[in-house]
Amino acid sequence: MAVKLKGVILSVEDVLLNKGIIDTNVFAQVELMMSFFKSKGIIPCLLSNRKWTIGDGKCLFAALKGLFPELMVFSRHLDNAVPFKPQTASTAYVMKQMGWRDSETLYIGSTVNDMQTAVNGGLLFLKAAWYNKGTDYGFEFSEPKQIARFIDTLCLREHFWSHAIIDGDFEYYCLAPFSTYLQQYKPYSEDARAAAKFGLGHPDFWLSALVTSIYFTGIHKKIDFIASYPGHGAGVGNDKMNDDLMTFGKCFRKGYLHNLIERHTTALKSQTARNQGIALDHLNQLNTIKLNALPIRNLKTTYKNNPVKRGKTVLLVDDICTKGYSLESARKYIARTGAKTVMVTWLKTINTDIDTVGNLGLFNPYVANNFTVAPRGKTYGYHQHLVDHHASGELGEQFKRFLSWDWQ
């Protein structure tokens, strides 16, 4: 079940205050961020391992409570029942006291210790980089205003998926319908297409919308790995998604396998096929991809043994789904390893069903294959699996607000 954000857990160091002389210009934005939390009913909780003092030895937490009465303080020096960060128990303690679940909570921090605390707690980690760069992990925000915009336009949505299909081993979700002709879908659809094809538009919005939907609906808890589907040209991965998908995976110890799916031969584009009078089907995808038995984890470490196998689940990400040929072809290959697949896309082309492939028989998923026929499988009707008619309207409104967002 989808849930909305209830609270944030904050660190002191380089989040609320920087070490040394206070940067009053930045702190003014921190004050605006705290006011924003209050206006949205989001409860901020400060989590600290030790006592902090300011000026003549006055307790920093008391001073912050004076400025922000709604701030809840959990500090080991005030209550020895509060577990030390970065223990898993530290965030669990805060959430138990506040009556929150992990998928109703965000962690905002800056240091390596903060990152470890968020990861151990299974919380989406937003890195405050307005005072100091801190750690390389987490989704980075250069000013408090960016975090407020991220939360307001993406984390407070009520309609996370327009389409959902859960049928045995077939599981698929998308944010909203896609159409550049119908006015209610056109503005965000044109931007998504520009982002997907050319890296233009606002890819930061689309990736952020996707990861927040995955997080707040708990899908990340089902998976072990994340992979993106490659473009039409020969190669691996999706350079427009790599960084954000890897960052998201690191928040939850899910390896990002950018080269799990390899396009060994350039596939024919839909527009080119139409111009040549060719009717494409699954074979255009099945015969141009294969799996890498020893993929690279997080763009860094090559596995010595095949990680994708029975008992594991891969989150497969693509931008815009039409009839599902790409996703279904990759799913068939991954299924040959014994692993399962959860598929997500930004958008789904309107009034277009998803066609699956029937039994392909035994084949080696790690080599180029030459299938001569793709047996017809199930068809999942567009309207039958349109589970939330409000998702497109909400996404469209939030997209417009994202573009012009400012402090109220």
Q: Is the pLDDT of residue 272 over 90?
A: no
For 163-387, the fitting CATH number among 1.20.120, 3.40.50, 3.10.20, 2.40.160 is 3.40.50
Lowest mean pLDDT among 18-27, 169-178, 348-357, 399-408: 18-27
Q: Which of 5-9, 130-134, 148-152, 299-303 has the lowest mean pLDDT?
A: 130-134
What is the pLDDT confidence band of residue 271, given thresholds at 50, 70 and 90? low
Peptide bond just before 69 cis, omega within 30 deg: no
d(CA 7, CA 91): 12
Q: Round to whole Å and give the CA distance between 385 and 353.
A: 9
Using one digit for the tens of pLDDT, what is the confidence trace for 337-379?
Answer: 999 999 999 999 999 999 999 999 999 999 999 999 999 999 9
Give me 260's structure tokens.
């799990």
DSSP string, 295-311: PEETTTEE-SS----TT
Q: Would you state the pLDDT for residue 322?
A: 94
What's the pLDDT at 275? 64
Mean pLDDT (the chain) is: 94
Q: Which residue has the higher pLDDT, 228 or 199?
A: 228
Position 136 scores a pLDDT of: 84
Q: What's the pLDDT at 361? A: 94
Domain map (residue ranges) of the chain:
7-155, 163-387
Instruction: Answer whether 299's CB lies under 8 Å from 246's CB.
Output: yes
pLDDT at 1: 45
pLDDT for 2 equals 57
At 385 the pLDDT is 98
Q: What percent of the chain has pLDDT over 70?
A: 97
Across residues 54-59, what is the average pLDDT? 80
Q: What is the band of 237 on the pLDDT scale with cuts at 50, 70, 90?
A: confident
Distance from C-alpha of 131 to C-alpha of 142, rounded to nearest angstrom: 8
Task: Report the distance separating Cα 303 and Cα 306, nearest Å.
Answer: 7
Residues 258, 245: Cα–Cα separation, whole Å = 9
Domains 7-155 and 163-387 share a fold: yes
pLDDT grade for 17, boundaries at 50, 70 and 90? confident
Q: Tell me what the mean pLDDT of segment 194-202 comes to.
A: 93
The torsion region of residue 254 among left (phi > 0), alpha (psi -120 to 50) and beta comes to beta
Q: How confident is the model at residue 194 (pLDDT cuts 50, 70, 90)?
A: very high
Q: Which CATH superfamily is domain 7-155 in?
A: HAD superfamily/HAD-like (3.40.50.1000)
The whole-angstrom separation of Cα 216 and Cα 144 is 21
Which among 237, 256, 236 is positioned nearest to 246, based on CA atoms? 256
Looking at residue 255, its amino acid is: G
pLDDT at 345: 98
Instruction: Using the predicted structure, report yes or no on whether residue 13 has a pLDDT greater than 60.
Output: yes
Supply the pLDDT for residue 269: 78
**Over residues 153-166, mean pLDDT:** 97
And the tokens for 138? 């987490």
- Supply the pTM of this predicted model: 0.95
Q: Which of 137-151, 266-280, 360-374 has the lowest mean pLDDT?
A: 266-280
Q: In the predicted model, is pLDDT for residue 20 greater than 90?
A: no
